[in-house]
Amino acid sequence: MPDLPIDDVLPNLTAALRERTEAVLQAPTGAGKTTRVPLALLGEPWLGDDRLLMLEPRRLAARSAAQYMARQLGEDAGETVGYRVRMDTRVSAQTRIEVVTEGVLTRMLQDDPALEGVGAVLFDEFHERNLQADLGLALALQAREVFRPDLRVLVMSATLDTGPIAGLVDDAPLIQSEGRSYPVEVHYADQPISPGDRLAPPVAAMVQEVLRDTEGDVLVFLPGAGEIRRTESRLEGDVPGDVTLHPLFGNLPPGEQDAAIAPSPDGERKVVLATDIAETSLTIEGVRVVVDSGLRRAPRFDATTGMTRLETVRVSQASADQRTGRAGRVAPGTCYRLWTKRTQHHLDPHTAPEIENADLAPLALELAKWGTPDPSALRWLDPPPDDTYEQAQALLQRLGAVDRDGTITDHGREMAELGLHPRLAHMLLNAQALGHGAVACDLAALLSERDIFKGQGEAPDVDLRLRLEALHRLRRGERPTPNHARSYVVPYGAVGHVRKVADHWRAKLGVDREAEGNVEVAGLLTAFAYPDRLAQRREGQSGRFRLRTGRAATLPRPQLLSDADYLVAAHVDARRQENRIFLAAPLSEDEIVDYFGDQIETEMRVAWDAERERVRARRREQLGALTLTEGPVEAPDPTAVAEALVEGIREAGLGLLPWTDHARQLQHRIQFLHHHLGDDWPDAHDEALLDTLEDWLLPHLYGLKRADDLQQLNLPQILRDPLSYDQRDRLEEWAPTHVTVPSGFDRAIDYSDPEAPVLAVRLQELFGRTETPRIADGRVPLTLHLLSPAQRPVQITQDLEGFWRGTYHEVRKDMRGRYPKHYWPEDPIDAPATHTTKARMDADA
């Protein structure tokens, strides 16, 4: 179906929807159609008495859109148009349009997959591609396929590449609005701001410049609340008296958010310092100027560490265009981009989907509850990455939310009902069972929102107990910042917001709103949420810890928890080689044993101590990389000791064994037969012996522990044991230790070279013999080292007769001159063999 102008389509939208049950509405920047389309649909016959659900990615946007549509009807939110967001609902029996956040839609689908009473679901601002939107669309499409073929699904976006999404929903028709925006003049900076630069000075300077040179309200885009507060502080007192400053970010109280987007009174201007919350969905009336830092905060989940960190990154081209369009909603405007034109060309075209970089534990729990733990069973614009999803399922198994097959457990269902991150839901349920529900609700609020502590020149103390005490002081009507605090302050707005969130969970769990509880259980409760972030202080090192995963972690400065034996790190920055801990609480070894004992592994470590040259047996209790206890074992398993001794010998070498000349010769004789006769004979080479220690040596090591103990081994007997009785006989016959030479003496054979065994003998002892001695049943001739009277080889040969008939005469001539007292006959073949001198021969004769 071709793209159509929306003004031509709206009168016949009913017919289009009947023909095709999904539609994608593409509304470019400034079109303002996100409210007009739902209102136009109200009277359509196909909707009947059903409601239309309109999804917004943020709570502020959902409330603002509902209130705006209600005003168009002359009503208040909660009548024909209402909204549902976390901790705030305005709906009634007459509500026909509900503006909800995507998380609310997921809850509704989980409770009623058929979405009874809902005629259409409209996904607004889908180009933001947050995780909940992708999940909501995947579930809605399957719900329509299985339960509600009549359910209408519309996807709206100002910048989305519509082709893939249209294909995902069965080649749905595209409805295009050209919009009614005003031109915006774009200016670029000479030098770009980098993500690591300090933003407040250049942004504040630009704001002061545009206040002098332009008209209308100013919208400033900054990456986070910290940059907003610093820029606000820099501008206070330096702007004209008719200018008011308004921060705008997600954790602000609703009243402050409403003030930021409300029209300025006549004769006044305002500067709104906002995160990307103001990029889409919201219309801030009166804005004529946009100052864009070009940066945003993006979560990055590392599946290898299980940690999410926020990174400051550049915006995409699509986001930059959205921000620019904010200046052209009501009149021609101007946008000042704090980056260069060259940088603009290198920006990514679109913002990466959150599903590619997010912690997928919440999604995995929702899919388990949906009954589809395998995400490939659903339709996704971008499927969840395999490694991150597997890590999420592993976490859910550790929390007891799913079984090994990914099927949700009863505990997992309870967790999913809470609508919290699985970690915090698991903590709440465990804490409630232990009677610590009040502290757990406060912790859940603290850990799910921004830190309520603001550093004073240095990072605030990481101890979560201090933050719990700040909440308790606020409940008692006291100052949330104690008089003794030096490194931090607690802004009333931040702690008030967290208290509101905590009170929401207290109400949901039936916990007394005024109960304080014992802050000393903070470590145990936090450990329920983050069992993988238990940490142990490194021995003798203050402020440095080892996490259960084995990674190093450190506190930013000396503080309360620097010398804690154990703590649990709730917020860790994983960008450094040593992770930096931002939020933590202490816990005791007893708490670890009592509540995580089923995960503690007892290791009986029996190992070779190379320094002491002995086997040491130690018992160690491990929780991941953490060693809880360690000590000697009085009566270790004899087999384990023998095996450790084997490893010690393998590590140190065969030199630890008692090698006598007899043992070494026996080794070489066996190796000689293996070399010439094959694998029927054991391989007795050093490397082979080391490789097979378990086969031939291990049975003889029982009862031994030290290197010195090895000296009692009968090594020749041990080497002979693997031979059969027949082989033992053949060994003596085919690889004899000695050969009897013509002189009548037995001379030893050297088998160190299995290829050519050597018989070293004085030349005179072989007179009268022509045949070279052979072994291995006649297969192998000995290599004769014929020695001078000084025991030095004068000839090496395997052809004795050839030597007598040839080279001997040259040797005789030389030897007679050197050793005249010795017998050097002209004919050695007929001469008698001797081992003595001529004088002795004559005397014997």
Q: Under CATH, what is the fold of the domain 184-356?
A: Rossmann fold (3.40.50)
Q: How confident is the model at residue 37 (pLDDT cuts 50, 70, 90)?
A: very low
Residue 517, pLDDT > 80, answer: yes
Mean pLDDT to the nearest integer, 272-297: 86
Whether 4-176 shares its CATH topology with 184-356 is answered: yes
pLDDT for res 172:
76
Averaged confidence pLDDT in the chain? 87
| 44-61: average pLDDT | 77
d(CA 627, CA 600) in angstroms, rounded, equals 10
Place of tokens 């501008």: 235
Highest mean pLDDT among 416-420, 478-482, 493-497, 587-591: 587-591
Residue 36 confidence (pLDDT): 42
Q: How many CB atoms lie within 10 A of CB 776?
A: 17
Per DSSP, the residues of 669-681 read HHHHHHHHH-TTS
Give, rounded to a whole angstrom, the gap between the first and last alpha carbons of the chain.
126
- Tens of pLDDT, residue by residue over 358-367, are 899 999 999 9
The whole-number pLDDT of residue 432 equals 95
What region, left, alpha or beta, does residue 678 occupy, with left being phi > 0 and alpha being psi -120 to 50 degrees?
A: left
Cα separation, 120 vs 523, in Å, equals 46
pTM for the full predicted model: 0.73
pLDDT 10s digits, 479-513: 888 877 777 888 887 888 899 899 999 999 999 98
Task: Write down the domain spans for the chain.
Answer: 4-176, 184-356, 420-592, 600-728, 738-844
DSSP 182: P
Question: What's the pLDDT at 305?
Answer: 65
What was the pLDDT predicted at 3?
A: 43
> Which numeric CATH code is attached to 4-176?
3.40.50.300
Instruction: Return the number of other C-beta atoms located less than 10 Å from residue 785's C-beta.
Output: 19
Average pLDDT (328-342) is 91
Predicted pLDDT of residue 545: 95
Q: Residues near 456 by Cβ (< 8 Å), separated by ≥ 6? A: 486, 487, 488, 489
Burial of 585 (0-12, 13-18, 19+ CB in 10 A): buried
Q: Please give the Cα distance from 13 to 430 (Å, whole number).
A: 51
Residue 346: which H helix or E strand, with range? helix 341-346
Tell me if residue 81 falls in helix, strand or coil: strand
What is the distance between the alpha carbons of residues 638 and 620, in angstroms, rounded to a whole number? 18
Which residues touch 338 (CB under 8 Å, ≥6 apart)? Answer: 189, 192, 193, 202, 203, 206, 291, 292, 293, 294
